[in-house]
Amino acid sequence: MAVPPIISRRFSDLDWRLLLLIIPPISLLILLSISFNPINHFSSFAPLASHFLNKTSLITLPSTTLTTNYSSTAPPSLPLVNRSESTQWKDELERSRMAVCLVGGARRFELTGPSIVKNILQVYPNADLFLHSNFDKDAFKFSLLKTVPKLASVRIISPKPLPETLAQLRVLTAANSPNGIQGLLQYFNLVEGCLRMIQEYQNLKGFQYDWIVRTRVDGYWNAPLGPENFIPGHYMVPPGSTYGGLNDRLGIGDLKTSTIALSRLSLVPQLDAAGFRQLNSETAFKAQLTTRGVPFDTKRVPFCVVSDRKYEFPPGRFGVPVAALSSPGPLSGAKCRPCKPVCEGTCVAGIMPSLYKGWSWTNWENGTLKLCDAHGDWEGGWERIFDKVAGKELASERKRIRGLSRKRCVDDFTEMKKKASKWDTPPVEEICRLGLGEN
């Protein structure tokens, strides 16, 4: 039976009124559901990691050339968390797959190496160590690593000049680099080479790492690396020593963020295409992260970079403060040496505020920093100063290297070689002979 037109029109009007009443609340419910249930690629870490997240620092990509006046303001300090939450996150990290990427030359490794073993590798015994370094007269000191819990891969290479492409010459600058652009390329090659070692090992073993810690051979650690520095989806770097960009002396991230952060050479063409010009290591590093949309956090970390370089004292606005190894810190990768401090307390407070905060500045408040006069060579008796600061355990390792025989060196490397899944170095006899002679 046909429905009269007037009745049909009334039903049609009613349908539209019902729809107009129903659609808005349904849409609101859908929107709220999405807002309170975001996609989290690291959901297994989220309940614990959420206690450690800071405000993210992320800059936008400049359209043409880089300016060196990036904001160096660090995110707010980490809110206090209770011990049980920190312990739970530490336990979670120890159950994860972690790689420690150690790069650089072994010049003072008898001082720094044992501190890295104690404060990183023994703190996270589940971590696999990857060592990538150049072959020189100090490489024999890597025999100290025979005590590490897990040694995955060792590569010690004879450095050769790397080709300099037009993109690299446009993007990078030789200014303030001891060995010019070639020095930057060699350093970038060690860092990205360590990433390749990790990728090769993953393919060999058929798994992927959850975390990668990238640190330097010349870093001295005076306290353990804490679990609050592992932030899913973010890349963690120390504050200070930014030189217009980001402090690149340490980095911690998951596999995705670390792969971008450690691709120091292969991302240069992208920086070139984006219009970046005349970058130093730190500004290039920051550009890498921002062009690829990687959020980063800054946290103070208990290590400093042991350096033989000479710096004027007192440091000027763009000078480099050199911390005494006895500084409580955390020093977050500032340059340091074992010395009798010449400047503490009010003296430090009179010097550090004059340093440009976006360059070599480091945190100094509350007595955390003591300064050396580093305009000359290391002072006589530095060994006694180091031993007193570092303690008996680390002092004994320094002395062991000093009295190491070539036979013991070869034996230690042979023991290391048995632990490692991959070993790519000159003959261990040659490494020990170059460093120790024929004794």
- Is position 23 within any domain? no
Clarify whether residues 92 and 241 are in a common domain: yes
Q: Is residue 197 part of a domain?
A: yes
DSSP letter at 37 equals S
The DSSP result for 273-303, as a single string, is HTT--SB-HHHHHHHHHHHTT--EEE---SE
| Same domain flag for 107 and 254 | yes
pLDDT tens digits for 326-343?
A: 999 999 999 999 999 999
Confidence bin at 82 (pLDDT 50/70/90): low
Distance (Å, whole) CA 140 – CA 435 = 6
Asked whether residue 201 falls in the same domain as residue 332, the answer is no
Q: Give the residue carrying structure tokens 């010009």.
A: 277
Contact in structure between 386 and 114 (CB atoms under 8 Å): no
Q: Would you say residue 172 lies in a domain? A: yes
pLDDT for 86 = 85
> Which H or E element spans position 199?
helix 180-205
Q: How far apart are CA 102 and CA 152, in angstroms?
A: 12
Is 424 part of a structural domain of the chain? Answer: yes
Q: b vs e for 330-340, b when ≥16 Cβ sit within 10 Å of the residue's Cβ? A: bbbbbbbbbbe
Q: Is the peptide bond before 75 cis (omega within 30 degrees of 0)?
A: no
Residue 136 lies in a domain: yes
Same domain, 312 and 272: no
Query: Do 359 and 252 share a structural domain?
Result: no
Q: Higher model confidence: residue 4 or residue 50?
A: 4
Residue 51, pLDDT score = 36
- Residue length of the chain: 439
Quote the DSSP letter at residue 119.
Answer: I
Report the domain count for the chain.
Answer: 2
d(CA 115, CA 150): 16
Q: Residue 13 pLDDT > 60, yes or no? A: no
Crossing angle of the two packed helices 180-205 and 281-291, in degrees rounded to 10:
50
Whichever domain contains 218, its CATH number is 3.90.550
Q: What is the pLDDT of residues 359-397, one digit of tens each?
A: 999 999 999 999 999 999 999 999 999 999 999 999 999
Residues 186 and 315 in one domain: no
Please name every residue paired with 236 in a beta bridge, in sequence order, or none if there are none.
252, 297
pTM of the model: 0.82
Report, as an integer, the average pLDDT of 77-91.
70
Is there a single domain that holds both residue 146 and residue 278? yes
- Given a cut of 70, whether residue 214 has pLDDT beyond it is yes
**Do residues 365 and 247 both lie within one domain?**
no
- Look at the block and give the residue holding tokens 């970079």: 305
Q: Which are the contacts of 3, defined by CB distance < 8 A and separation ≥ 6?
A: none
Judge if 358 and 379 occupy the same domain: yes
Burial class (CB in 10 A: 0-12, 13-18, 19+), 150: middle
Give the DSSP letter of residue 52. G
Asked whether residue 118 falls in the same domain as residue 236, the answer is yes
Identify the bridge partners of residue 324 per DSSP, sorted by sequence position: 337
Q: Are 94 and 101 in contact (CB under 8 A)?
A: no
Q: Which domain holds residue 181?
A: 47-72+84-300+403-436
342, part of any domain: yes
Q: What number is the average pLDDT over the span 206-230?
A: 98
**pLDDT at res. 84:** 81
State whether 209 and 328 are in the same domain. no
Look at residue 16 in the predicted model and tell me its pLDDT.
Answer: 42
Residue 157 falls inside a structural domain: yes
Q: Are residues 175 and 103 in the same domain?
A: yes
Closest CA to 348 of 366, 329, 374: 366
Q: What pLDDT was estimated at residue 14?
A: 40
Q: Residue 190: is its pLDDT beyond 70?
A: yes
In angstroms, the CA 171 to CA 275 distance is 8
Look at residue 31 and tell me whether its pLDDT is greater than 90: no
Up-side HSE of residue 154: CA atoms within 13 Å toward CB? 24
In a domain, 123, yes or no: yes
Residue 40: pLDDT band with limits 50, 70, 90:
very low
